[in-house]
């Protein structure tokens, strides 16, 4: 059985989901009268599934040579739930900030900084693409 202290994936599998559950709870508080709260609740549900299945997976003994079909299914459930939760979190935070930008200046500043980061990311990615094409051309 793997110990939580020796697990190198604990940040992305336990701590980040717990932090996102807290953030989504705060977002539910601000959107308690809007329909966005249901998206946030579903996202929390996905994170809870991911955390429970993570604990089931790390509780399994390593190296037995036989893996039951239930554990294989739990691994797929964990993978789908954690991937879905992360993708839905990104979109939920985006929706929250865009909705808040209609009324608050801080959200407009965050949107401006996010837009600037996207532009810089595209420029850097284009630079790497040009460099990669030049490297391929030298072969």
- Stretch 68-86: mean pLDDT: 91
Asked whether the beta carbons of 43 and 112 are under 8 A apart, the reply is no
* Residue 106 CB-density burial (10 A; 0-12 exposed, 13-18 middle, 19+ buried): exposed
- Stretch 107-115: mean pLDDT: 89
pLDDT value, residue 64: 62
Of 22-36, 64-78, 86-100, give the lowest mean pLDDT range.
Answer: 64-78
Q: Please give the structure tokens belonging to residue 78.
A: 């964990």
Rounded CA-CA distance 71/100 in Å is 42
CA angle 73, 25, 115 (to 5 degrees): 90
* Residue 106 predicted with pLDDT over 90: no
pLDDT tens-place string over residues 94-103: 888 888 888 8
Rounded CA-CA distance 20/94 in Å is 14
pLDDT tens-place string over residues 14-44: 899 999 999 999 999 988 888 888 999 999 9
pLDDT value, residue 33: 84
Asked whether the beta carbons of 36 and 96 are under 8 A apart, the reply is yes
Q: What percent of the chain has pLDDT over 90?
A: 49
């Amino acid at each position: 059985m793997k110990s939580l202290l020796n697990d190198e994936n604990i940040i992305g599998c336990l701590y980040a989901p717990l932090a996102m559950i807290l953030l989504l709870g705060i977002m539910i508080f601000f959107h308690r009268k809007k329909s966005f709260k249901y998206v946030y609740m579903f996202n929390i549900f996905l994170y809870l599934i991911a955390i429970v299945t993570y604990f089931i997976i790390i509780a399994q003994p390593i190296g037995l040579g036989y893996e039951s079909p239930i554990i294989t299914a739990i691994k797929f459930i964990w993978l789908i739930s954690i991937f879905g939760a992360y993708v839905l979190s990104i979109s939920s935070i985006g929706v929250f900030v865009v909705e808040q930008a209609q009324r608050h200046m801080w959200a407009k500043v965050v949107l401006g900084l996010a837009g600037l980061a996207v532009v810089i990311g595209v420029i850097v990615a284009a630079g790497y693409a040009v460099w990669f094409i030049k490297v391929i051309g030298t072969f």
